[in-house]
Chains A and B, each alone.
Chain A
C-alpha cells in the first residue's frame, strides 16, 4: 500500500476511534527489528538465537517435520540472505516484514514479536510459500 494511503487509513482509523494509532509506527519498527535480528542470527549461523526468535508453533512444526532439534533443523532450510528492509505492515497482532530477498511473517507475544514464517515467496492468488512456518 502506498505511504499516503497508509497514512490516510491510519488517520481514518484514529478518527473512528477504533484502534490505538499512536503506537502503530513503533510497532512496525519493533516488528522490523525482530525480523532483522532473526535474519542476522541466520547469517551469523547463531542457530540457538534464531530458534529463540521463532514462534512456539513454528519451532514445533520445524522440529517435528525434521525429527531433530531446531538448531540442527534450521540450517537445512537454507533461508535466503535477507538484504535490506523494504517495508513492514502491522495489523492487530500480526505483521509482515518485506526484505529485499525474503519476506517474514510475525506475531505479537508477551515477549515481543516472534517469527511465524520465514523464507517466504509470494504466489499468485495463494498464501506465500514459506520454508519455515507453523501449522
Chain B
C-alpha cells in the first residue's frame, strides 16, 4: 500500500464526509439559486447570476442556520455526556462514571504518558483548557454560526420585506422576530431528536462493525461498550 492510499484509508471517515459536505453544499447553492431566482422572476424582478447568488444573505442564512444547529448538537452532546447517562447505550459512559473522572482515568498531570498531548501533562490552565477543548471549539463555532445566521438573516429578511413593500427592521428587532426563532428552533428540534433517538435506539439495535453500536451479541443492559 503506497503512502497516498494508506493516508486515504486511515483518514477515510473525514475525507468521505468532507467531500460529501462540499458536494452537498454545491447542490444547495445550485438549488437555492434556482429557488431564489424563481421568486425574483415571480415578482417581476431581475434574476441573479450564480456567483452573485453565492454572495447573497439568502444563501448565507440558509447555510449558517444549519451549521449552528449541528455544532450546537455536538457541543451539547460532548458536554452533556460528561454527566448524563443512558443505561444500555454505547453513547453513554458506564453508569458509575458520571462526571469529569479522576486524573488517573483521564491520564492527565502526573498520570500523563509519554505519548500524551503536551498540555495534558501540564498542571495549570493549559490542562484545564485542553481538557475542555473539544466542547469549547464546538461552542465557539456554534456561537459564530448563530451570530452569522442572525446577521445574514436580518439582511435576507429585510430584502424580502422590501420586495413586499414593507419597512426593514433592525438587527435587535430581528432577534425577537418569528423568522429568526422559526429558523433557529426548527433546526434545534431536529438535532435534539436525532441525539435522543440515537441514545435510545442504540440500546436495542446493532450495526455490526460500527463503533457507534455495541457488538451485535452484547446485552441490552451493557452500557458504555462500543463495537
Contact = CB atoms under 8 A, between A and B. Distances in A.
Interface in A75-120: 89, 91-96, 105, 107-110, 116-117, 120
A130 interface: yes
A93 B156 contact: no
B151 A16 contact: yes
Interface string B148-179: 10011011101101111111111110000000
The contact size tier of chain A is 35 or more
Contacts, number: 102
B43 interface: yes
Overall SS of chain B's interface = helix
Nearest to B42: A135
A4 to B, nearest CB: 11
Interface of A: 1-2, 5, 8-9, 12-13, 16, 18-20, 55-58, 60, 89, 91-96, 105, 107-110, 116-117, 120, 122, 127-128, 130, 133-135
28 contacts: A1-B169, A1-B171, A8-B171, A9-B151, A9-B171, A12-B171, A16-B60, A16-B147, A16-B151, A16-B152, A18-B55, A18-B152, A55-B44, A57-B44, A60-B44, A91-B161, A92-B156, A93-B45, A94-B163, A96-B162, A96-B167, A109-B45, A109-B46, A116-B165, A122-B167, A127-B164, A133-B165, A135-B43
Interface of B: 40, 43-46, 48, 55-58, 60, 147-148, 151-152, 154-156, 158-159, 161-172
Given A94-B159, A110-B46, 18 more contacts: A18-B60, A18-B148, A55-B44, A55-B45, A91-B155, A91-B162, A92-B155, A92-B156, A92-B159, A93-B45, A94-B163, A96-B162, A107-B45, A107-B46, A116-B165, A117-B165, A128-B165, A130-B165
